[in-house]
Structure 1
């Protein structure tokens, strides 16, 4: 008589061929997939890293790591965010920020808006917020962005309108350095139903606080204590 096969060890989970636990019994059938639809807290650094890959390149990146030569021009020419949803460079930013398929119907359009606006910035200066650059400096000339245009910008809720208004604002800044990472976070939050009011409030605060900024202090630092970065 043959010996009876030993039964499963008490408390052990059944396994599929290949040694993988049966998911129906509470185990995993493979590697745990990365969580998608969430954004890491270092969004500024991630957006800046993407921007540095736009031609002609920044931070000494070798040419093989740069996006194709026409990518920046196509982002600058786009009439609206929907026009560039077929651009690999937009999906590269989407992935860089940690977004995935889950929730892409909500995240891809704001990312496309951010890509178009960031493509117009010529020089990055961490801590130098766009709103502070556009506001009237203490004892300086009038603001680059008029209060009326600021009001129009703050009322923008539609992606196409936000893109038009922000492009105009960046163009008014000209060659002045702007915080690429900070602007990316502002744009991503602007259209978010939960974070939008906070983003607009911070932008307005930085615009008017520029007149009272301490000389030598980085522009945009005024609001850090009031609106800590998220």
Structure 2
């Protein structure tokens, strides 16, 4: 299931990111956010909320939180690179080593809170030198928040492992690592 990818929301997210690049004040205010509470009160986040209103309004609260994580993290992305998924970009070789080490990648997979995800994804953007696929990242954040909500209420019953974003990230990361090693 895709929340952003392949929908009209992808274009709106790209448009918001482009506007953010032009509005240095909004971008700077989002980049200074050290917590989700800071993001919730920023003007850049409010702008994204209005652009993506049907995606969250009147729906589960986790969607609002997902958009805050997206706003806070994407504000650090300087170049939208749609060629690779988020996890594939983390595995991409940078001078012989992956952009994100396996240890740090495992730390990302182990995150259990929204604040933790926000913190780890901001680090990931910095490791990637600000070059990421923002639509892939946004879709993955939505999936992570949905999975987190589902696991909290269903206690893992009737969940296929391949539906979880951590499993998909692992498949992309290690699959891309294997591809890099074969070249």
TM-score by length of 1: 0.62
Output the CA distance in 1 between the equivalents of 2:145 and 2:15.
22
From the CA coordinates, give the structure whose radius of gyration is larger: 1
1:106: how far off? 2.6
Distance 1:45 1:213, change over 3 A: farther
Matched position secondary structure for 1:127: coil
Equivalences for 1:127-206 in 2 at 5 Å?
A: 127-137=83-93, 141-175=96-130, 177-193=131-147, 194=150, 198-206=164-172
**Bigger strand share:** 2
1:212 and 2:178 matched: yes
1:136: how far off? 4.8
Q: CA RMSD in A?
A: 2.6
Q: Gaps spanning 5+ residues in structure 1: where? A: 1-38, 57-67, 215-230
Is this contact kept in 2: 1:76–1:116, CA < 8 A?
yes
Output the CA distance in 2 between the equivalents of 1:149 and 1:128.
19
> Whose RCO is larger (CA < 8 A, sep 6+)?
2
Output the CA distance in 2 between the equivalents of 1:100 and 1:142.
38
Q: Gaps spanning 5+ residues in structure 2: where? A: 152-160
1:99 and 2:65 matched: no
**Bigger helix share:** 2
Q: What does the per-residue CA deviation read over 1:93-115, in whole Å, with 9 as the maximum and x for residues that have no partner?
A: 23333235313633211111110
1:54 and 2:20 matched: yes
TM-score by length of 2: 0.77
